[in-house]
Chains A and B, each alone.
Chain A
Amino acid sequence: MVRRVWREDFRIIGYYTGLVTIGVGLLMLVPMVTSLVFREWVSALDFAISAVLTLLVGYILALVSHTKSTPGLTHAMVIAAGSWLVAMVLSGVPYMLSGHVKSFLDACFDTMSGYTTTGLFLLQDLDHISQGLNMWRHLLTYVGGQGIVVLALTFLIGSTGGAFKIMVGEGKEEKLEPNVRHIAVLIWRISLIYLGIGTVVLGLIAMANGIKPYLAFFHGAYIFMSAWSTGGFAPYSQNMLYYHSSAMEIASMVFFILGSFNFALHYAVWRGNRREILRNVEIVSFTITVLTTFSLVCLALMQRGVYPNAMALFRRGFFQLVSGHTTTGQSNIYARTFVREWGPLGMLATTIAMAIGASAASTGGGFKGLRMGIIVKGIATDIRKLLSPERAVVTGHYHHLHDNILSDGVVKSAAVIVVLYVLIYVVGAIVGMAYGYPMADALFESVSAGSNTGLSVGVTQAGMPTLLKIVYMLEMWMGRLEFLSVFTLFGFIATSVRSMRLRKAAA
């Protein structure tokens, strides 16, 4: 960013951030209505207050910064990162009002975790919160998964090139269709159809398992939203253990695996290109890494004699590993059970799975299967080049929607981002260890935050060091936005400060 920042820049950023904030305020009406339905009057009032406050902030921002200019790429990135922060703070208000958080920082931790579809939480006494607050938590992950920005795009902004740039700032770079509005509508259509089907399927399973019908479909909605967004929240502290149902777990697993797929892939497959699912480099990479890490997990579990039969090994082991690899974070074992019984190798294999993560342009995190595939193929191509005669021309290819050339530039971009992810994983681990946490625990939890997974070994507690909370929050944020947007925001702030100083000096 080597230019001056002008007042108009602030207006563009302020205006679009305001619009996104208004979207968030409107979203708060959903948990408010939920509380009204369940006659949770106090909770309904809390959400009414929060909604009105958020809308107020949004409208003030939009009013003060009103502009007709379209955002450039830099603006778009700053808006994406900035509105994330504003949404995080305002979305924490219902948590504060509920009395279930120990501090405002804790509330922000939970909302950051929700929007980034991580799933770690500092909420106190989860088993006794209102249906409204539960709806809010799960809704945050669903919306976060879709991208707060896409939400704003669909409902508040007309179709412009500027809006596309905001979405690129969000990390969903696939060029699906030329028209942005069309893309947003497409993403929403696929997600909403699955939302409908998922809620019904999971609701029916819940009912069959003994949950009363009117509650069953709320559970269905919560678990679907948690799964599809690869968020990992659940309405009760026992997470998936609450339901004591393998059907519930398997159905959820299907949805979170689907949620971890690239939206461009969904689009291609739904448009008729069904073979893509077998040829796509991300799917191939994912399949290989899932089965490999799972085999490692099985090795570890068998060596320690943790599970007595194949069914138990499958139900607990596979679910946990796939939940980690897709960066979902739902669990059907206790956090401390995972640490104590799975042991170092089991934990390491899961950590690696989380670190790699899901597909690009999906709700999932990690450094992404696409980059994994590109780097592996890059290495393979380099080896081939070494072994080939000097004059032979060796080009690598990878299949992602169509055949692509594996240029040096592509491999380099992938490698840079992977290094950045590994950097935040390691820094988070170091901070954890500096506070005295064992290495395996500190590394696991740091990777869980940075890859937006949400599986916990017990490090994430209200009593954990404040600096560590902030470190994890930064990891979640940077991991979700895949760095570019966050770096642009910091660059923008730095440049604004410099510009203001220059202007003062010139005056």
Chain B
Amino acid sequence: MQERTRMKRTTSLRRDLLGMLTEVAFTGSLIGVGFLICRLFFVGR
């Protein structure tokens, strides 16, 4: 019984972590695109 709850907690933590990383990765990409847009505006100057 304890084994199962420990397994559940680890999977739950792992899911949390992956969820967090997904969100942060998405946000980082959005910021990256913003930066690229800036570079684009300065192309050729």
Residues of chain A whose beta carbon lies under 8 Å from any beta carbon of chain B: 193-194, 197, 250, 253-254, 257-258, 261, 266, 269-272, 274, 277-278, 283, 287, 290-291, 294-295, 298, 302, 309-311, 313-314, 317-318, 322
Contact of B38 among A193, A253, A298, A322 (CB under 8 A): A298
Chain B residues touching A, range: 20 to 34
A–B Cβ pairs within 8 angstroms, 30 of them: A197-B20, A253-B31, A254-B24, A257-B27, A257-B30, A258-B27, A261-B23, A266-B23, A270-B15, A270-B16, A270-B19, A272-B15, A274-B18, A274-B19, A274-B22, A277-B23, A277-B26, A278-B26, A283-B26, A295-B37, A298-B41, A311-B38, A313-B38, A313-B42, A314-B34, A314-B35, A314-B38, A317-B38, A318-B34, A318-B35
Contacts of A277 in B (CB 8 A): 22-23, 26
- Nearest-neighbor residue (CB-CB) of A270 within chain B: B19
- What CA separation (Å) do A310 and B31 show in the bound complex? 14
- What CA separation (Å) do A253 and B20 show in the bound complex? 15
Residues of chain B whose beta carbon lies under 8 Å from any beta carbon of chain A: 15-16, 18-20, 22-24, 26-28, 30-31, 33-35, 37-39, 41-42
Q: What is the interface of chain B mostly: helix, strand, loop, or mixed?
A: helix
Contacts of B42 in A (CB 8 A): 309-310, 313
Contacts of B33 in A (CB 8 A): 291
Instruction: Say whether B23 contacts A250, CB under 8 Å.
Output: no
Contact A258:B38 (CB < 8 A) given known A272-B15, A291-B33, A318-B31: no
- What CA separation (Å) do A314 and B20 show in the bound complex? 25
Contacts of A193 in B (CB 8 A): 16, 20
- What CA separation (Å) do A333 and B29 show in the bound complex? 24
Contacts of A295 in B (CB 8 A): 37
| Min CB gap B15→A, angstroms | 5
Instruction: Say whether B34 contacts A254, CB under 8 Å.
Output: no
| Min CB gap B10→A, angstroms | 14
Contact A287:B30 (CB < 8 A) given known A313-B42, A314-B38, A317-B38: yes
Contacts of B37 in A (CB 8 A): 291, 294-295, 298
Instruction: Say whether B15 contacts A258, CB under 8 Å.
Output: no
- What CA separation (Å) do A271 and B19 show in the bound complex? 7
Contacts of A290 in B (CB 8 A): 30, 34
Which of A250, A257, A266, A311 gathers most chain B CB within 10 Å?
A: A257
Contacts of A302 in B (CB 8 A): 41
Contact A310:B16 (CB < 8 A) given known A254-B24, A254-B27, A277-B23: no
- What CA separation (Å) do A197 and B16 show in the bound complex? 13
Contact of B19 among A197, A272, A298 (CB under 8 A): A272
- Nearest-neighbor residue (CB-CB) of A250 within chain B: B31
Contact of A310 among B19, B22, B24, B38 (CB under 8 A): B38
Instruction: Say whether B39 contacts A310, CB under 8 Å.
Output: yes
18 additional contacts, CB 8 Å, given A271-B15, A274-B19, A295-B37? Answer: A254-B27, A257-B27, A261-B23, A266-B19, A266-B23, A269-B19, A269-B22, A272-B18, A272-B19, A274-B22, A277-B23, A291-B33, A291-B34, A294-B37, A310-B35, A317-B38, A318-B34, A322-B34
